[in-house]
A and B are shown apart, each in its own frame.
Chain A
Amino acid sequence: MSTYGYTGRILRVDLSSGKIAIDDTLKYKDFIGGEGIAMKIMWDEVPAGTHPFDPQNKLIFGSGPLCGTGVPCSGRTNITSLLPSNPFYGVTSSHMGGYFSVAMKYAGWDMIVIEGKAPSPVWLRIEDDKVKIEDARWMWGKGIFDTQAMVASFMGKDAQVAAIGPAGENMVNLSVIRTGTSHSAGGHGGIMGSKNLKAIGVRGTGAVKIAVDSKEWLELNRFMMSIIGANNQHVVPSSPQPWAEYTDPTSRWTARKGLFWGAANPPVETGECDPHDMQSVGLRTMKATFDLGAGAEKYTVRMGGCAHCPIRCHSQLKVPQLERYGMDPYVSNTCMGWSSPRGVMFKGIKEFDGHGEDSSIVGTAIGTTLADDLGVWCNYGQIGRDLNYCYTNGVFKRVLPAEEYSSIRWDLLEKGDANFFFDFYNRVAYKKGEFSHIADGSYWIAQRWNLGDEYWNNKDMKLWSRLGYPVHHSNEAGGQVGALISCFSNRDAQNHSHMNFIGAKLPVKILKEIAGEIWGSPAALDAPNNYTPMNEYKARFVKWSLVRTMLHNSLTLCNWMWPMATSPLKERNYRGDTSLEAKFYSLATGINISERELDEAAARCFTLMRAITVRQMQSFDLRKDHDQTTEWVIHREKDKSGNELPQFTPGTIAMEKEDMELGRTLVYREFGWDEKTGAPTRACLEKYGMPDVAEELGRRGLLPT
């Protein structure tokens, strides 16, 4: 068997016994890599009823066959395990960008499977074939930044490190595993903590072999580079450019003349960025001003991101004011990494400590530095809304001891003074007091603090599911398409396959044409905020999105860029190429596979995740027990004058109950699941080549009849 693309080896580390073993990747090849293979291992090896923090739970770091091959946007690491914030500890994946998985590949490992629990704090040292469990007692308690530097000072400056902070050590449900400056995988930090594993360092001097001739490989890379857009595959610029036919001020293609990385020395102009200019692809996305406002330009040293990705979506700033707080002035983040601290300061960050008009940037930088160093996760922005709800509705007054309540610096929160962050993140990461349960996750605080229906059904809370996760490109993204995509995961959907397409910023007319070509009818896509009732083409779009995201997390490609359904090229009529994943896979591995076959392999992985969910919930009625939304989603909205907007009229994103149920049915049908319950049937599992899964579910009485 060739080991092109794949390294062919899985590293298994049992922290209880200290045993280190090697497993064969290619026996799992039907599950592609990354998340897919991880799901197979979770099904095979983690028994139902396991608690996330039990030694029996496994923590799986996954790369895929395209990681480390130079395919654009292939630097992500998939992490799969049980999720403590989920009510039934559902199996989930978290992801981080950076350079970690590429280093894994160069060291010769497709996956790292951690199991057991070390008797005392350790870190894992991987230098090619040499794997050692090292003492980490003296690292325990450190922030993630220092931990990474400590590991790198032991291993060498080119080591890539994934680590947890105090939040992970203290098994806070909402905690992260982080690598590099700002690449966080949310939700699984506590698993590392529970295993007494502080960090993993990887150095690799090996190579990932490409099956085809290098000319062919470079040519496909060149083609991919010609159709790539900006962050989230936005393919039109945010301001009119001489080369552009279309413009959208909300596009992440923000480069323009006169906009600089202002703190570079000398400043670097982002410029016009004609899509044919391959030496400005990395300048297209000026994310600092997009995320933080115009004031961030002067603080921007440059843009950063992940291995082998030309689209740099992490803003890297020098904010000298941070030194006053004993912090590194160099701060990096993107998207939710910036907006989640802002959500915690839900009354806004106003002028504080004399920072004047830049108070918001300085304050946000303080928040993001604390969250990233302590390793606190935000449940995709939900922690801020939960804080808001519990404070504003008197929940904290009700449930916190009076002394604790009065010790919290609410005055700072009220004033918009970002010093509140020090109080907030410290209590959360070190599990101080009743308040710290805010980081248990929405489901658990609703139980613990008896928050009731008004919490779940409050539209402003944005809670998508009673499983405790919020919207993440849901009904505001393609109506039923985003809404249904958000129903099948055990945490926020983290799906961008649909969002990158819907949000490409091209006129709706062009997008509908492309939708017709991919999913069989332009009716697969509605104009934003102008939805029509459910149809089978939307169901195909939903399945495609779920499957492609699983595929990207398995290959491992960045789903914040992939798939390439559109392009910035007028001469291609803005078409992208949805067969690129399969083409790259075939060339890299030498295993020829078509676009349809690869999608089917990913559908197998997604169905397996579904089967694990059935086993964990001990219910096959997923329609009823798993796939439902909170009530606000299917309630009519009101316009500004207070008039009800009926569903499917322009201007409302509200869904309709029966229509959503029809949507579920159509999606179940697309996957071949039971149309009544949404569970995989025996026939379906057998069709996907998983008779063993059917066998076990049947034995447990968990197959739909």
Chain B
Amino acid sequence: MEEMNAQQTASPGADIVRLVREDSAAARLTRLSVLKEQFPEMDVEGIIAESGVPDLKKMRGKRDTYFFSDQSMTEAYAAHLFRIEEKDLLKLIAETVRDESQTYPRPTDARVFLGAPFNVAEHDLADTLERLAASPEYNDIRTCTASNGALYLYSSKYLGEAYAESLAEWMEVGQKENP
């Protein structure tokens, strides 16, 4: 921080942009609340909006507003981090599953959430999956199991049951049998 203050030539706008880019390069989102603490006297959001820097992107959540630079982080990855930051596991899982069911399309291996960047604890995952099943808001999120017992999630908005099941079996068992 001392070093930063010493850079008299840099404008506050440039400092903010640099901070966001550094965070993104380190695979982190930059929270508006943190920027406000660091630049207490300034209209941080306004400065960023007016900076005209095309790589800086904003995502508004319930808990905070977040910035990232798409020079070193894709929107897809930022979306993962956003959902993680928002600390709504139900939403995190449901939206990720919907994305994958729609985009690829494919069912989502539940173990994906145990790994980086999600790092959901195993008991939290089990608990969340139970809550998901009971939640009307997410009643499109369904589960299926491959023949080796692996659990997959899919959104019925985009995938039918038989299709999701066959894809889960292909991902889990079929590909390993056909190396």
Contacts and interface: CB of A to CB of B under 8 A. Distances in A.
Contacts of B177: 339, 381, 462
B162 A248 contact: no
Interface in A232-270: 239-250, 256-258
Interface stretch (B13-21, B59-67, B129-137, B166-174): B166-174
A336 B179 CA distance: 6
A684 interface: no
A650 interface: yes
Which of B27, B76, B112, B166 has the most CB atoms of chain A within a 10 A radius of its CB?
B166
A652 interface: yes
Given A527-B105, A530-B163, A242 B77 contact: yes
B77 A650 contact: no
B74 interface: yes
Interface in B101-160: 103-106, 109, 111-112, 115-117, 160
Given A527-B105, A528-B170, A250 B27 contact: no
B177 to A, nearest CB: 8
A651 B163 contact: yes
Contacts of A246: 76, 103-104
Contacts, number: 87
A529 interface: yes
Contacts of B111: 249
B88 interface: no
Contact of B76 (A244, A527, A645, A652): A244
A640 B168 CA distance: 13
Contacts of B174: 476
Contacts of A639: 162, 165
Contacts of B165: 639-640, 651
A528 B171 CA distance: 10
A264 to B, nearest CB: 21
Q: What is the predominant secondary structure among interface residues of chain A facing chain B?
A: loop
A242 B160 contact: no
B170 A476 contact: yes
Contact of B160 (A508, A650, A653): A650
A591 interface: no
A575 to B, nearest CB: 18
A339 B179 contact: yes
A335 interface: yes
A543 interface: no
B166 A248 contact: no
B178 A473 contact: yes
Nearest to A472: B178
Given A645-B162, A651-B162, A242 B73 contact: yes
B75 interface: yes
B5 interface: no
Interface string A549-581: 000000000000000000000100000000000
A239 B115 contact: yes
Interface in A635-662: 639-640, 645, 649-653
B167 A240 contact: no
Which of A257, A472, A476, A651 has the most CB atoms of chain B within a 10 A radius of its CB?
A651
B27 A650 contact: no
Given A242-B27, A248-B104, A339-B179, A651 B116 contact: no
Interface residues of A, number: 42
A387 B148 CA distance: 22
A295 interface: no
A507 interface: yes
Contacts of A250: 171, 175
B167 A529 contact: yes
A293 to B, nearest CB: 10
B175 A245 contact: no
B72 interface: yes
Nearest to A339: B179
Interface in B35-59: none
B91 interface: no
Nearest to A335: B179
A508 to B, nearest CB: 7
Contacts of A509: 103
A472 B178 CA distance: 7
Contact of A529 (B109, B115, B166): B166
A519 B166 CA distance: 27
A250 B175 CA distance: 8
A133 interface: no
Contacts of B117: 240
A675 to B, nearest CB: 31
A240 to B, nearest CB: 5
Contacts of A245: 74-76
A164 interface: no
A651 B144 CA distance: 13
A619 B89 CA distance: 64
Contacts of A257: 116
A84 to B, nearest CB: 24
A529 B179 contact: no
Nearest to A482: B178
Nearest to B76: A245
Interface string A327-365: 000000001100100000000000000000000000000
Nearest to B160: A650
Which of A335, A509, A530 has the most CB atoms of chain B within a 10 A radius of its CB?
A530
Contacts of B109: 249
A507 B165 CA distance: 18
Interface in A300-345: 335-336, 339
A471 interface: yes
A651 B175 contact: no
B167 A239 contact: no
Nearest to B167: A529
B105 to A, nearest CB: 7
Contacts of B167: 528-529
A649 B117 CA distance: 36
Given A256-B116, A471-B178, A240 B80 contact: yes
B178 to A, nearest CB: 6
Given A249-B109, A476-B174, A244 B74 contact: yes
A244 B166 CA distance: 27
Interface in A5-63: none
Contacts of A335: 179
B104 A507 contact: yes
Which of A250, A473, A653 has the most CB atoms of chain B within a 10 A radius of its CB?
A250
Given A335-B179, A336-B179, A508 B170 contact: no
B67 to A, nearest CB: 15
Nearest to B24: A242
A473 B179 CA distance: 9
Contact of B171 (A249, A339, A381, A645): A249
A247 B167 CA distance: 16
Interface string B64-98: 00000000111111001000000000000000000
A239 B109 CA distance: 11
Contacts of A291: 179
Contact of A249 (B24, B77, B112): B112
Which of A240, A241, A381, A650 has the most CB atoms of chain B within a 10 A radius of its CB?
A240
12 contacts: A240-B116, A242-B73, A242-B74, A243-B74, A244-B76, A249-B111, A258-B116, A477-B178, A528-B170, A529-B170, A651-B165, A651-B166
Given A245-B74, A528-B170, 10 more contacts: A244-B74, A248-B104, A249-B109, A256-B116, A339-B179, A462-B177, A476-B170, A476-B174, A476-B178, A509-B103
Interface of B: 24, 27, 72-77, 80, 103-106, 109, 111-112, 115-117, 160, 162-163, 165-167, 170-171, 174-179
6 nearest A-B pairs in the assembled complex, by CB-CB distance: A651-B162, A650-B163, A651-B166, A335-B179, A651-B163, A242-B27
